[in-house]
Amino acid sequence: MKLIVLDRDGVINFDSDLYIKSADEWRPIPGSMPAIARLNQHGYRVAVATNQAGISRGLFDMKALGSMHLKLHQAAQMAGARIDAIFFCPHSSEEKCECRKPMPGMLLSIGKRFSVSLRDIPVVGDSLRDLQAAEQVGASPYLVLTGKGQQTLENGNLPHGTKVFDNLAMMVDRLLHAEGLVPETVEMARAALQKKK
C-alpha cells in the first residue's frame, strides 16, 4: 500500500493567520482536489495530519471542525478524490502534547492506523513543523510554497532532503512522474528549466 500524508491549512485549503474557524472560511486551493484525485487513481491512500490549536484556544469547537472536514470530504468527492483519514491535534503549543507537530504523535498514529512503516513516505506541509515531524519518523519531507510555505523557505533550516514545490498539484505531478506513473508535462518541464536558470 502507498500512503501520503498532507497537512491541511496552507496545503489543501487556504490558510489564515486568524485560523480557519468555520466551514464558510474553509476554501480549497485551486488544483488541490484534482491532485488528490490523481494520487487516488495511482494507488495512494491519503491521510491528513493537521494542528488545530483553535479548539484549545476557544476559537471554534469540535462541531465546527467536523463541519470543515465534512466540506473537505465533499469537495474531494466532487473532484473524484478520497481522503482516507483525517488526524488532528486540538492542543496549543503551551500544552506540550505528543501529537502537535513538530512532535511525531499524529504521524505515528497514522502509521499504526494503516499498518505501514513511515520510512520514506511523502509528508507534505507548508510549515517547518510539518517537515520536522516528517524527519522524526524517517518520512520524506515536501514543502509547498502555498500557505506559509514561502516564509518557511525564506526562514531556512529545512530538514535535509526537503523537496520544494510551488503547490500540491506540482508536487503530485513530480511524485507520480518520478514513479513512472505519468509522463512529464510541459508545465513540469518548463518549471524545471526555470529552476536551473
- 44: β partners: 2
∠ CA 183-6-10, rounded to 5°:
100
| Residue 160 CA to its chain's centroid (Å) | 18
How far apart, in Å, are the Cα atoms of 109 and each of 86, 176, 183, 192? 11, 25, 34, 35
Q: Which residues of 21-38 are buried (b: 16+ CB within 10 A; e: fewer)?
A: bebebbebbebbbbbbbb
Q: Which residues are catalytic?
A: 7, 9
Q: Where are the beta strands (DSSP E) in the chain?
A: 2-6, 44-51, 85-89, 122-125, 140-144, 163-165
- CA angle 182/80/14 to nearest 5° reads 90
Indicate the Cα dihedral angle 134, 32, 17, 87, nearest 10°: -50
